[in-house]
Structure 1
């Protein structure tokens, strides 16, 4: 029996190799997974042209996944440096990469990523359009934009951010309800500007059926972009954001009618006390479609530390229903991240995702922590390093300050609670001032 997309296969009762891979990774019954994919509650981004893909699932009941943003720009146009970031993401087991390239040999770089990266690959075609055609924004046509989408699909991209929710209706609501930071989505701003300059409807909204044609053909998952995400905690959960979210829910249903898989993108900057409500709103207004969030960044005053502000928000968001976290690096709001920034961003986001999985009761999530706790109880430092989310940093800290008693650390020395409890529970004496017998 033939199928067009993973959703189509699930609805026809066909078990694909990608479904088998995801079910095994998630310790989930294959029949349960198929039902979730068929109903749009789980997506398996899997472009037919991404030949070395090791599939991942995103959505209800699955582990929280993380995404790494990278890509070349006019100011930092070094493909080899960005490839190093791709390889770092592979080494650190990030489940997804988004190529946000917006200048130069974007297709060359994109194809390199598809060749070497076996996780999910995403792009934002709108970023690529100006350079792809060497046209100013105003002069791009709807046909131009759709052609860029198809080019990315042909190249093997598994999911694409399409800002189709910023239509004329949403734009008018935005203009009637001024914000402190206006629109901050790069793709959303480009489309809003195009609409204003040409006095026309958003091409991705107007020609959404043609976008679906492309996505169905290649089995590309649409990540419905949040052009109206908040760029400051002042602007979160306002009329523009909620109106766009309602539109994204309507578009998700249209996509599902065509067996096209959908994720919904979300905020953004947002105060802690609003996060849980926003997760609930997305699930309600978008019919339980998987939710992909940037952060949320919970305070605006920490440039240089936004991997931390984002991890705080990400942990709350994912524990409250978000399924996919886009990493934020210390360089957010300041510059293109370097390799060290990318590593810090990945680690912070992995911590947030794992903490959320514990809270959500994801199968085997606590097992990792229990193994670390056992190694700590046994003062088995090598085992601790093996288990650690960043073994290199843990070893570096340990080696930089050696204790008198090698089983302890220089924080407590022989007053180490773990050491002393092990001894006393085994009927041994505790020698703190003198050598052990």
Structure 2
């Protein structure tokens, strides 16, 4: 039996090779996974042209995944550095990489990225349109927008962020309801500008079925972008954000009718107390589709530390239903991240994802923590370092400050509670002078 997309296969009762791999990784029954893909609660982004993909699932009952952003800009156009970042992201086991290149002829870089990466690859075709077509934004035609989308699909991109929900009605809502930070989505702001300059509807909304046909052809997972995501905690959960979310829910159903896999993108900046409600709202309005969040960043005052503000929000969001976290680096709001920034962002996002998996009761999530606790109870520093999320940093810290006794650290020394409790419970004397 033939099929067009992972969702089409799942609805026909077919367990694809990608489903088998994901089920094994997630310790889930393959038939249960197939049911979740069929219902749209899980997506497996897997472009037919991405030959060396090691597939991952995103959605209900699965481990929280993370995405790494990279790509060239006009001010920082070093393709080799971006490829080095990609290699590091793969080494650190990021499940997804998004190429957000927005300058010049990006196809060569994108093809290299797809060819080298076992991680799923995402793009935002809107970023590429001006550079690829060498035209002013106002002069780009509807056909040219779709040409860019199809080019990315041909190159093997597994998921695309496309801001289909910022239609003219939502744009009017933005204009009528003053925001502190307006539209901070790059792709969303470009489409808003194109609509205003041309007095036309968003082409990806007006010709949505044309977009879905491309997705079916290559089995692209459509990541419905949130043009109206809040760019400050002041703007969170406002009329524009909620109206766009309602539109995205409608577009999700239309995509599912054509067997196109969908995930929904979400906030943004948001106070901690608003996060659980937003997660519930998204899942309700978008019919349980996987939720992909940037952060949420929980306070606006920490430039240079936004990997931390994002990890706080990401952990809370994922514990309350978000399925996919976009990393944020210390360079957020300041500059293009370098290699060190990227690593800090990845580690912070992975901490948030793992903490959420523990809260969600994902099978096996606590096993890693229990192994670490056992190593600590045994004062086994080599084992602790081996189990660390970032063994390199843990080893560097340990070696930078050596204790008098190797089975302690320089904070506690002979007062080490782990070591001393074992001795006392074993009936031994202590000597801690």
Normalization by structure 2: what TM-score?
1.00
- C-alpha distance in structure 2 between counterparts of 1:89 and 1:426, whole Å: 46
- C-alpha distance in structure 2 between counterparts of 1:50 and 1:66, whole Å: 19
Secondary structure of 1:248 counterpart: helix
- C-alpha distance in structure 1 between counterparts of 2:67 and 2:285, whole Å: 24
Secondary structure of 2:66 counterpart: strand
Partner of 2:247: 247
Gaps (5+ residues) in structure 1?
Answer: none
Secondary structure of 1:161 counterpart: strand
Partner of 1:257: 257
Gaps (5+ residues) in structure 2?
Answer: none
Q: Summarize deviations over 1:267-293 as a string: whole Å, max 9, x none.
A: 000000000000000000000000000
Partner of 1:351: 351
Secondary structure of 1:331 counterpart: coil
Partner of 2:144: 144
- C-alpha distance in structure 2 between counterparts of 1:373 and 1:367, whole Å: 10
- C-alpha distance in structure 2 between counterparts of 1:105 and 1:94, whole Å: 26
- C-alpha distance in structure 1 between counterparts of 2:248 and 2:240, whole Å: 12
Partner of 2:15: 15
- C-alpha distance in structure 2 between counterparts of 1:147 and 1:19, whole Å: 30
Query: Deviation above 2 Å: which 4+ runs of structure 1?
Result: none
Partner of 2:107: 107
- C-alpha distance in structure 2 between counterparts of 1:209 and 1:387, whole Å: 48
Partner of 1:266: 266
Partner of 1:371: 371
In the TM superposition, what is the alpha-carbon distance from 1:105 to its structure 2 partner? 2.9
Q: Structure 1 residue 424 and structure 2 residue 419: aligned?
A: no
Matched ranges for 1:1-400 at <5 A: 1-400=1-400
- C-alpha distance in structure 2 between counterparts of 1:260 and 1:67, whole Å: 21
Normalization by structure 1: what TM-score?
0.99
In the TM superposition, what is the alpha-carbon distance from 1:83 to its structure 2 partner? 0.4
- C-alpha distance in structure 2 between counterparts of 1:91 and 1:384, whole Å: 20
Q: Summarize deviations over 1:280-322 as a string: whole Å, max 9, x none.
A: 0000000000000000000000000000000000000000000
Secondary structure of 1:222 counterpart: strand
- C-alpha distance in structure 2 between counterparts of 1:156 and 1:426, whole Å: 61
Q: Summarize deviations over 1:114-144 as a string: whole Å, max 9, x none.
A: 0110111000000000000100000001111
In the TM superposition, what is the alpha-carbon distance from 1:425 to its structure 2 partner? 1.6
Secondary structure of 2:264 counterpart: strand
RMSD across aligned C-alpha pairs, in angstroms? 0.5
Secondary structure of 1:183 counterpart: coil
Aligned residues: 433
Q: Summarize deviations over 1:44-66 as a string: whole Å, max 9, x none.
A: 00000000011000000000000
Secondary structure of 2:299 counterpart: coil
- C-alpha distance in structure 1 between counterparts of 2:409 and 2:270, whole Å: 39
